Amino acid sequence: MSTSIRIRKGLDIRLKGEAEKVLVQADPAKVIAIKPTDFHGLIPKVLVKQGAKVKAGDPLFGDKYNERILFTSPVSGVVEDVVRGDKRKVLEVRVVADASIAYEDFGAGDPSTMNRETVVQKLLKSGVWPVIRQRPFDLVADPAKEPKSIFVSCFDTNPLAPDLDYIVHNHGNEFQTGLNALSKLTKGKVNIVVNSKTAAREFLDAKNVVRQTVDGPHPAGNVGVQIHHLDPISKGEQVWVAGVQDVLIIGRLFLTGKYDATRVVAITGSEAKNPKYLRTLIGTPVKDLIGPVDPHTRVVSGNALTGDRIGQDGSLGFYHTQITLLPEGDEPKFFITDGWASPGFDKFSANRSFPTWLMPSKKYALDTNQNGEPRSFVMTGQYEKVFPFDIYPVQLIKSILANDIDQMEKLGLYEVVPEDFALCEFVCTSKINSQSIVREGLDTLKKETT
């Protein structure tokens, strides 16, 4: 039975630089980089050496503590380098791509006719399994466990987020096949979550799922908010999640027998010269997608609130479907014209500090300057205005800072991940890095309870 929910708390951040509805095939990448750092908590075991020849779908590295989970190459080619950092930490595995991709054949098949173990084995062997993540802890799902339900959010409310209706158009067969595969992984429901503006028939006509409706400002599109209101997580339970484009990758695997790591990526942000959609591959170098950028521009793989700062020489993250280009904010500002004493006619405000709150459709070219330094963490009520969970956010953050395991559990840490606190971090007068604190708390909780 479907449910309709309206989220009241939240905040839509209206930025300039939305991607135009134009889809362009990006030039083939010469080098692809797969980064173990994209998978939190992973201790990688490298399975290839420099100079090794690989096909698309051949393993590059695996999980040291769960050898069934493999991370495979999106392209065929030659392993150029295994890049290591401090203490020989593996930062990325680079593959020089062939002009034409040769795929490992994992065998096509209808997941509806398969049992759970067969579906799991195909996802694991092909390297597609890591697109499925588990809550709590926001890690790659454990194939030995079974979730009580699975969630797919079919809309995104993050700043300048790609239009998933546009991306899924004409890909209904892949999407439905991916959903059929997911349905084999749980005895519970596969929930696809839409909002009242969703128009894609690929979502509205999907079968073998329960369609839920959630409306409201950001973070209504965050799957964590949706799980909290539709199927809350208690201690000892798991819910698995996958993105729309992840479901498409799963569907293509079963339809073709190939690991096709194609992503449609939205190039966004006020500093983007030509905001548009590009069809490319996971791990593509960002400079191949956006070209040269001004040195005072921050290049983010992902959205402005939760993405990774990668620079022009970085690569598209494994889970990211957006590249955001923002002003760095490293230039001095005169306090009367651009600072705290300015009239604020071009400043976005979450609390009506500036007259722009009277302009609900105005868009902004916000930079990354925090406009202040970290200061005392005080109770202001700001977090509660944008945090649509039945959880006390400030008390939860303070319990993590105090390393109080019992309080973390009681205050609902199992139900959140760092992205759920992104808006809290954005509006925080105290400049507290809430997302990193939540990540530390989840790591501590996992270590102590598993």
The whole-angstrom separation of Cα 369 and Cα 372 is 8
Domains in the chain: ranges and CATH: 1-25+116-329 (no CATH), 26-97 (2.40.50), 382-449 (no CATH)
Three-state DSSP class for 167? Answer: helix
Residue 125's φ and ψ, nearest 5 degrees, are: -65, -35
* pLDDT of res. 360: 79
Output the CA–CA distances (angstroms, integers) from residue 73 to 26, 60, 99, 224, 325, in the order listed: 19, 6, 15, 29, 27
Rounded to the nearest angstrom, the gap between the alpha carbon of residue 76 and the centroid of all alpha carbons in its chain is: 26
| 3-class secondary structure, 81 | strand
Token pair of 90 as six digits:
């593996």
Instruction: Take residue 361 and report the two structure tokens written for it.
Output: 């459709």
pLDDT along the chain (450 residues), means of 10: 88 96 94 96 96 97 96 97 94 96 96 97 98 96 96 97 97 98 97 97 96 97 97 94 98 98 97 96 96 92 96 94 92 70 77 76 86 80 95 96 96 96 93 95 91
CA 239, 251, 162, 33 dihedral sign is positive
Q: Which residues contact 277 (CB under 8 A, 6 or more apart)?
A: 19, 20, 21, 22, 23, 24, 162, 166, 167, 264, 265, 266, 267
Residues 6+ apart with CB under 8 A from 154: 164, 168, 192, 193, 194, 198, 200, 203, 244
Q: How far apart, in whole angstroms, are the C-alpha atoms of residue 146 and residue 185?
A: 7
Beta bridge partners of 33: 94
Measured over the CA atoms of residue 251, residue 253, residue 257 and residue 263, the dihedral's sign is positive
DSSP, residue by residue, 264-310: EEEEESTT-SS-EEEEEETT-BTHHHH----TTEEEEES-TTT-EE-
Kindly state the tokens that stand for 135.
Answer: 């809550």
Looking at residue 335, what is its pLDDT? 64
Q: How far apart are CA 255 and CA 111, in angstroms?
A: 9
Is 12 in a helix, a strand, or coil? coil
User: Distance between CA atoms of 446 and 115, rounded to whole angstroms?
Assistant: 31
With beta carbons less than 8 A apart as the criterion, state whether 259 and 123 touch.
no
H or E segment to which residue 382 belongs? helix 382-386
Task: State the pLDDT at residue 392.
Answer: 96
And the tokens for 408?
């973390």
- For residue 329, the model assigns a pLDDT of 80
Distance between CA atoms of 288 and 282, rounded to whole angstroms? Answer: 13
Query: Token pair for residue 236?
Result: 């000892």
**Among 351, 370, 348, 368, residue whose Cα is nearest residue 359:** 348
User: pTM, whole model, 2 decimals?
Assistant: 0.95
Phi/psi at 447 (5° precision) = -65, -35
Query: 343 Cβ partners below 8 Å, 6+ apart?
Result: 354, 355
The answer to whether 393 and 401 have CB atoms below 8 angstroms apart is no
Q: What is the DSSP letter of 129?
A: G
Q: Three-state SS string across 173-187, please? A: HHHHHHHHHHHCCCC
Q: How far apart are CA 222 and CA 209, in angstroms?
A: 19
Distance CA 76, CA 104 (A): 9
